[in-house]
Amino acid sequence: VIRRQQHNNDTKNAKAQMVLTLPKIQPCGPLISNTIEPRILLMGETASPQPDQVGMEYAERSMWSVLSMIVGLSVSNKDFDSYQTLKEATLSRGIAIWDVLSNVIHDTARRNRKSKKKIGEEKPNRLMTFVEKYPSTLAFCFIGVKARKTFGKHFGVSDTDSKLTISSSRSSIRLIVLPSSSKSNKLLLEEKAAKWGNVMEEFFLD
């Protein structure tokens, strides 16, 4: 029994040491068109890690399968050239991409659902600074309920609020929850695209 307890303690200590020694991963910043002012800020909950290849920021996201249907492009987000085409088509509609939190989930934690936790204290991105810099922003669109709840927790907005008032000098920002793009959401891809499109097209640039 003593040996078994010692083994369990050693295992716990090893796991704790692994968490403490995980390398710090830098998050991606906001993805914005160089020529088009954003009208929608599309957000997940936690941040994407900086990719090994410049230009492939956010490429691992499941949202691209939905966005590709909305912009009418049957291209892959895995190939560099195809991803640039898809990304530009999306951003040119006035969509910017970021996340509620700057925390990146480490791959080790991502593979193990039981330990799928943000590394360290939750740190919200500077979304109000984003809006101040890009006053053209009309809506925050959250990919899934979890992203919306996390936003509300850090920015003092209730789950039932549909608008966010930044200041009296400008109109409020719509707060919209989109169906999750994850495969765990059992909606068909076409249904997800239809629901996203019906909401977002109101804000698209012609």
The model's pLDDT over 150-170, given as tens digits with 9 standing for 90+, comes to 999 999 999 999 999 877 556
Reported as a single tens digit per residue, the pLDDT across 13-69 is 544 444 444 556 899 999 999 999 999 999 999 999 999 999 999 999 999 999 999
| Per-residue pLDDT band at 171 (split at 50, 70, 90) | confident
Token match 């969509």: residue?
95
Q: What percent of the chain has pLDDT over 70?
A: 79
Distances (CA, A) of 31 to 41, 62, 90, 94, 162: 9, 16, 10, 11, 24
Instruction: Examine the pLDDT at 206 and tell me if it is beyond 50.
Output: yes
Instruction: Examine the pLDDT at 177 and tell me if it is beyond 60.
Output: yes
| Per-residue pLDDT band at 117 (split at 50, 70, 90) | low
Reported as a single tens digit per residue, the pLDDT across 93-116 is 999 999 999 999 765 444 444 444
Query: What b/e readout covers 20-56, taking b as 16+ CB neighbours within 10 angstroms?
Result: eeeeeeebbebbbbeebebbbbbbbbbbbbeeeeeeb
* Size of the chain, expressed as the number of residues it contains: 206
Residues 45, 181: Cα–Cα separation, whole Å: 12
Confidence (pLDDT) at 60 = 94
| Per-residue pLDDT band at 137 (split at 50, 70, 90) | very high
Token match 């991963």: residue?
25
pTM of the prediction? 0.82
Confidence (pLDDT) at 65 = 95
Query: Which residues does residue 177 pair with via DSSP β-bridges, in sequence order?
Result: 142
Residues 124, 98: Cα–Cα separation, whole Å: 11
Task: Determine how β-strand 173-178 pairs with β-strand 163-164.
Answer: antiparallel
| Per-residue pLDDT band at 181 (split at 50, 70, 90) | very high
